[in-house]
């Protein structure tokens, strides 16, 4: 098992509300969380998923549902979960991981829903005004419970 | 694995060839296919930019030789091999176009996309030409990926034979070549 990074995008076109990147395979606590330096990468990643998602929806024809699942390149594989509320969960792993959709589903239903959605102190929407929509947002998930659960769940998979 | 569509994209991102092999698939207009080709070209470029930091660091610290062998694509035998008529191999001798593993020229760009219903495979050549196959089966299996790479390399062999040797063909322009059409249909039909 090796995963490289984990990203959450909200429904406001390109707002990244959480990112976690591990930089050393040997060290579970290495890397960055909600880093400013990752903003550009987040936008590129969003753009890549967005364009391939629109291609896949076009290719499926009218009516039927065709969501994107994985994107592989020569070096890594991105696993994607799109929820009906417009959230995207993206997990980057090495090429040995064939399908991590169960991991993404767990991250959504057991970690995100329980620590962010069920939390009354956490904002429902991470963009508070119109000027923070369309990729201009800067608010991230800083909920301690969420960060700890993500770390506990994904940490052992880093190597 | 049934191949729904094969596309060829030139080095500037224009669609030069598109063909559907099954009738049931979604019907896209030629304009939509052009947009699709252009989008893919862009995504291939973006995909190499998003390479995780962990990989960038391990590449710097010099495990390059460890990475090389994984980029070899195994030869999948008897895939779309002409069973009886050997004369139909064009200028290629022997039972098949090639019979050993080959290196991938697409080191860090987009290779493979899966969705709920389809998967899409990309084969890139050194000259920047891209072959795209859309299959009606969604799989991330390493075997399926190498089968697709083999198939697209064979399509490239056909391209080299019947398109590049056509004096009426203008590079970078859409491919209108009957021999390429028929041989590609045969190749996909044998799968």
Q: Tell me whether residue A159 is in a domain.
A: no
pLDDT, residue A139, reads: 79
Whole-number Å distance between alpha carbons of B53 and A92: 11
Instruction: Tell me the ipTM for this assembly.
Output: 0.83
* Residue whose structure tokens are 């022997």: B94
pLDDT, residue A80, reads: 94
Q: What is the pLDDT of residues B130-156, one digit of tens each?
A: 999 998 888 877 888 888 888 899 899
Of A55, A69, A75, the CB nearest to B138: A69
Whole-number Å distance between alpha carbons of A57 and B120: 13
Q: Which two tokens stand for residue B149?
A: 């790479």
Q: Tell me whether residue A71 is in a domain.
A: yes
Across the 159 residues of chain A, what is the mean pLDDT of every consecutive 10-residue run? 88 86 82 84 91 87 80 91 92 88 93 91 77 74 90 87
pLDDT, residue A124, reads: 77
Q: Find chain A residues with C-beta within 8 A of B106's C-beta.
A: 74
Q: Is B70 left (phi over 0), alpha (psi -120 to 50) or beta?
A: alpha
Q: What is the pLDDT of residues B170-187, one digit of tens each?
A: 888 999 989 999 989 888
Query: What total of structural domains would you count in chain A?
Result: 1
Read off the pTM: 0.87
Chain B segment 150-189 residues within 8 A of A by beta carbon are none
Percent of chain B topping pLDDT 90: 28
Q: Find chain B residues with C-beta within 8 A of A70's C-beta.
A: 112-114, 140
What is the per-residue burial (b if ≥16 Cβ within 10 Å, else e) of B6-39? bbbbbeebebbbbebbeeebbebeeeebbebbbb
A45, exposed or middle or buried, with CB in 10 Å at 0-12, 13-18, 19+?
buried
H/E element holding B142? helix B142-158
Whole-number Å distance between alpha carbons of A64 and A78: 23
Q: What is the pLDDT of residues B15-64, one digit of tens each?
A: 999 998 887 766 788 888 999 999 999 998 888 888 888 888 877 776 55
pLDDT, residue A98, reads: 83
Q: What does B71-132 look like in DSSP terms, one character per residue?
A: GEEPP-TTTT--SS-GGGGTT--SSSS--S-EE-S-SSSEEEEEESS-EEEEEE-TTS-EEE
If pLDDT is split at 50, 70 and 90, which confidence band does B65 have? very low
3-state secondary structure of B134: strand
Q: Tell me whether residue A80 is in a domain.
A: yes
pLDDT, residue B62, reads: 63
Q: Which domain holds residue A49?
A: 3-154
Q: What is the pLDDT of residues B6-19, one digit of tens each?
A: 999 998 889 999 99
Of B52, B115, B141, the CB nearest to A76: B52
B75, exposed or middle or buried, with CB in 10 Å at 0-12, 13-18, 19+?
middle
Q: Tell me whether residue A64 is in a domain.
A: yes
Beta bridge pairs of residue B9: B15, B130
What is the per-residue burial (b if ≥16 Cβ within 10 Å, else e) of B122-144? bbbbeeebbbbbbbbebbbeeeb
pLDDT, residue A129, reads: 73
Q: Tell me whether residue A45 is in a domain.
A: yes
Question: Cβ–Cβ of B51/A76 closer than 8 Å?
Answer: yes
Domains and CATH numbers, chain B: 3-21+33-50+72-81+90-189 (3.30.450.70)
Q: Tell me whether residue A95 is in a domain.
A: yes
Q: What is the pLDDT of residues B74-120, one digit of tens each?
A: 777 666 555 555 556 788 877 788 888 888 888 888 889 999 888 99
Q: Find chain A residues with C-beta within 8 A of B146's C-beta.
A: none
CATH number of the domain to which A82 belongs: 3.30.450.70
Interchain CB contact of B83 with A (< 8 Å):
no
3-state secondary structure of B42: helix
∠ Cα A92 A96 A101 (to 5°): 55
Percent of chain B topping pLDDT 70: 86
């Amino acid at each position: 098992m090796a995963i490289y990074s984990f990203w959450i995008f909200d429904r406001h076109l390109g707002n990244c509300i959480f990112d976690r990147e591990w930089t050393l395979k040997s060290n579970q606590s290495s890397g960055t969380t909600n880093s400013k330096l990752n903003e550009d990468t987040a936008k590129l990643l969003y753009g890549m998923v967005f364009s391939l998602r629109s291609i896949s929806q076009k290719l499926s024809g009218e009516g039927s549902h065709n969501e994107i699942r994985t994107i592989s390149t020569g070096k890594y594989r991105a696993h994607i979960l799109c929820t009906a509320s417009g959230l995207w969960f993206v997990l980057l792993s090495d090429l040995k991981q064939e399908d991590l959709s169960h991991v993404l589903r767990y991250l959504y239903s057991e970690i995100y829903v329980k620590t962010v959605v069920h939390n009354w102190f956490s904002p429902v929407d991470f963009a508070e005004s119109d000027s923070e929509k369309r990729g201009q947002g800067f608010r991230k998930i800083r909920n301690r419970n969420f960060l700890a659960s993500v770390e506990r769940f994904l940490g052992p998979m880093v190597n | 694995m049934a191949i729904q569509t094969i596309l060829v994209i030139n080095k500037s991102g224009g669609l030069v060839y598109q063909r559907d092999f099954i009738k049931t698939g979604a019907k896209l207009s030629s304009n939509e296919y052009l947009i699709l080709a252009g989008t893919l070209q862009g995504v291939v470029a973006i995909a190499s930019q998003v390479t995780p930091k962990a990989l960038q660091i391990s590449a710097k610290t010099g495990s390059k030789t460890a990475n090389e062998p994984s980029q070899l694509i195994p030869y999948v035998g008897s895939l779309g091999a002409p069973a009886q008529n050997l004369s139909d191999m064009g200028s290629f001798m022997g039972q098949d176009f090639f019979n050993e593993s080959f290196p991938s020229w697409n080191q860090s760009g987009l290779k493979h996309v899966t969705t709920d219903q389809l998967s899409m495979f990309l084969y890139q050549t050194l000259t920047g030409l891209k072959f795209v196959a859309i299959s009606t089966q969604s799989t991330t299996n390493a075997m399926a990926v190498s089968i697709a790479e083999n198939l697209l390399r064979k399509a490239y062999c056909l391209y080299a034979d019947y398109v590049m040797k056509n004096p009426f063909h203008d590079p970078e322009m859409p491919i209108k070549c009957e021999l390429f059409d028929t041989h590609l249909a045969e190749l996909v039909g044998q799968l």
